[in-house]
Amino acid sequence: MPVNSHLDNKTLEELEKKYDSALNTRDNGPVLTRVIYWASICFALYHLWTAGFGTPVDHVHMGIHLSGLFLFIFVGFPLIKSARALEWSGARALAPGNVPLYDWALAALGISAALFLWLSWRGFSGFGFDIDEQALRQGNPSGPDVFFGSILVLTVLEIARRTIGFVLPLIILVFMVYALFGPYMPAQILKHPGVNWQQFVNNMYFPSEGIFGVTLWVVSTVVFHFVLFGVVAQRMGLGQFFVDNAMILAGRYTGGPAKVSVISSAFFGTISGSSIANTVSTGSLTIPNMKKMGYPGHFAGGVEAAASAGGQITPPIMGAASFLMAEYLEVPYTTIVIAAIVPALMHYIGVMSIVHFTAKRLRLPTYTRDQLPNMVAVWKDGWYTIIPLIALLLVLFSGYSPNMAAFIGLNLCIVVGFCGMDRPLTLPIPLALLGFIFWKASPYSGEGYSPEMAGMLAALTILGSLHRNKRQSFRDLFDSFHVGVQYALAVGAASAAVGIVVGVINTTGVGFRLGFMVTGGAADMAATLAPLLDWTGLETFSHSSIQQFLSLVLIAMACILMGAGLPTTALYIMLVAVATPALNQLGVPPLATHMFVLYYGVISEITPPVCASAYAAAGIAGANPFRTGMSAFTLGLGKLMVPMVFVYAPTMLIVLPEYFTLLSFLQVSITCALGVFAIATAVSAYFMAPLNSVWRLLMAIGGILLVAPSGASDLTALAVIAPVIVQQLASLRSERAAA
């Protein structure tokens, strides 16, 4: 009998609300709930329109985006989240729609501050004010600028606190204090002249840096669209198609239920910008199935959390951080995707290996053939769901802008999932999309599609309109838009707030000071350790080598701690601003630097005590959250070590010609994979036969030496692992003889 492999949108929505605080908003009563619902649809449609037909000038578009964030967050998220604050308790004069008057006031002030820059850009005269145009106020803000700028700083911090908690706002407040009180810092290296509040607001409020900087711009023009695409595509049926194919690929092999979890989460991670959404969507099926087959609850939850966090480093979307990375590094998007392939594979090799050997050790059964979905039936019923993803990737890898790719992907989701020949009233949508495609291919659109691109997109649109599978209602589409906007609120709030960190770093140069402190502290520790290891005579234990390694470890720890509980895109923005200067001082290539901070930031998703994905998985599994977090962290050991490899051997990233040769790439990648595999056997306590403590230790040491990108360490690793292989072969022969 087939196992349960059906994703139900309503059930998923309830699970997401339960485990993701971004969706757990207060009940606003029937009237305001409808108003906010349709306002969120309009907000999504505005972004969809601007992606295809052109985005307004930066301060206008970001002002509109921020206004939406203020409205939805202050209406949906209470000052202090509690069951009583979230419940509807009837109409009240002091809380219309269950929203206290002070929240309405904060929303109005925030929206006014977000839009004031637009309204006053060309100058303003009236109501007793005579304000010059913005270019003349830059560096010398007017009184209204300081007022609205102050309001914007405070309200941005508040919406970040309400959506993702205290951690990020507290970090930002530390940076603000540093900017304002620079002359009074206790350490000489941290002292700077400081700025007064007027100048601080000038730097945070006016575009190009601060809140209206590149972080909010990229999130409002690219990241929002891909969050929306991920939600709509998953609910249109692509998520179900991923799960079914994962069942077909891995279900019949050793550790099948857990391998299905890993593969489906990797597939889903390619379109999802949220680890928690990934965990809940695929975990609602895979975790109960794993438990039925005998996996402990904490291990089942850990597998799903580790695999879902891996989705945030899996090309092509990478939690939308790939687009930010391309923007920061000023390189083609395809460069980021190619560079991310091998490191992501190492993570999944580690997770899959631990899953495999754990199943061997526990002698767990696998799925039988009759429990698995039929491949022909799955593709017959679900092939059409990959059309939007194919179109999105086609546009993206042809050199067009990411927001254009998202525009095509989202529109094809609508065409494929909700429009059809049997529903004549929906046909204007695919016809309008065809018109847009041919307009973009015409000479009147400026820089548009090539004839080949237009032909392929038109063919996909027609194909998506003609398929005979069941369509969903437009109410389902609007529900998807609404959920997508809710998911984007935390990302938008965090990116706006992180803009303050970026602004402070640009204003004070604290990034370079922190970098110097990290490398200086590592140098002091290396000065103590190096004499103790001189007897080895190895370059690995020289003063400079120890200093570099300790610097990397300190930066990695800071990334994990600072990334706790933040959305992928927001943590990437903040960590790049803080950690990049230190890594640059170590001579690490910029691309490796950005990948390094992203990897260690995402690891915070599965690092106790703050590991949101693991806690969501634990809730589904009915397991201890801390044990689930530890299982997820253990399963993610590959992701923990791989960044060190591509920092020391950037050849793994493929796209850096000054480091890449085919021989070095193969040597580093293959030995790293073997090392991750060996460490997995040590973690699982099983290889060909059970491993006791001594043999596990040898495999762990050998694995670490293989991961280290050095020919000498590889040879040493073989010498360390050889006795284990001999022992395992002997144990295997004994087991077979006994059997």
- Is 253 domain-assigned? no
Q: What is the pLDDT of residues 354-376, one digit of tens each?
A: 888 888 888 877 877 887 888 88
* Local confidence band at 274 (pLDDT 50, 70, 90 cut-offs): low
Strongest mean pLDDT among 235-244, 451-460, 596-605? 451-460
The rounded distance, in Å, linking the Cα atoms of 408 and 530 is 57
Rounded-to-integer distance, Cα 105 and Cα 439, Å: 45
Geometric angle at alpha carbon 495, from 491 and 496, rounded to 5°: 120
Asked if omega into 78 is within 30° of 0 (cis), the reply is no
Predicted confidence band of residue 9 (pLDDT cuts 50, 70, 90): low
In a domain, 3, yes or no: no
Lowest mean pLDDT among 2-16, 675-689, 712-726: 2-16
**Is 174 inside a domain boundary?**
yes
CA distances 294 to 257, 290, 344, 636, 708, Å, are 10, 7, 28, 21, 35
**Does position 514 have pLDDT exceeding 50, yes or no?**
yes
> Of the residues 182, 209, 236, which one is the last residue of a structural domain?
209
Would residue 62 count as lying in a domain? yes
At residue 679, does pLDDT exceed 50?
Answer: yes
Top-ranked range on mean pLDDT: pick from 214-223, 328-337, 456-465, 637-646: 456-465
Q: Which domain holds residue 692?
A: 673-739
H and E: helices and strands count for the chain: 33, 2
d(CA 399, CA 593): 24
Q: Is 690 helix (H, G, I), strand (E, B) or coil?
A: strand
Q: Which one-letter amino acid corresponds to residue 428?
A: P
> CA 608 to CA 560: how far, in whole Å?
10
Query: For the residues of 712-723, what is the DSSP string, one character each?
Result: HHHHHHHHHHHH
- Lowest pLDDT segment from 110-114, 123-127, 363-367, 615-619: 123-127
Q: What is the pLDDT of residue 1?
A: 44
Domain termination residue (choose one: 152, 174, 209): 209
Pick 83 or 698 by higher pLDDT.
698
Residues 6 or more apart from 183 whose CB is under 8 A from it? Answer: 191, 192, 193, 194
Please state the pTM of the whole predicted model.
0.86
Which segment of 14-28, 278-292, 320-334, 721-735 scores lowest on mean pLDDT? 14-28
pLDDT digits over 79-105, tens only?
888 878 888 877 777 888 889 999 999
Binned at pLDDT 50, 70 and 90, residue 110 comes out as very high
pLDDT of the residue at 539: 63
pLDDT mean over 289-317? 82
Mention every residue, 6+ apart, whose C-beta is less than 8 A from residue 107: 70, 71, 74, 75
What pLDDT does 153 receive? 95
Q: Identify whether 569 is part of a domain.
A: no
Q: Give the confidence band of 670 by pLDDT, cuts at 50, 70, 90.
A: very high
In angstroms, the CA 138 to CA 140 distance is: 5
* pLDDT tens profile 48-73: 999 988 889 988 999 999 999 999 99
> Among the residues of 57-133, which ranges form H helices?
58-76, 83-86, 101-119
State residue 120 phi and psi, 5-degree precision: -105, 10
Residue 393 · residue 316 · CB < 8 Å: yes
DSSP letter at 132? -
Which residues touch 162 (CB under 8 Å, ≥6 apart)? 73, 74, 77, 78, 79, 81, 493
**Looking at the domain assignment, is residue 90 inside a domain?**
yes
What mean pLDDT comes out for the span 560-580? 75
Last residue of a domain, one of 209, 225, 258: 209
Mean pLDDT for the chain? 84
pLDDT in tens, 407-420: 999 999 999 988 87
- Count of structural domains, the chain: 2
| Residue 594 resides in a domain | no
Predicted confidence at residue 74, as pLDDT, reads: 95
Distance of CA 386 to the CA centre of its chain: 21
Residue 547 in domain: no
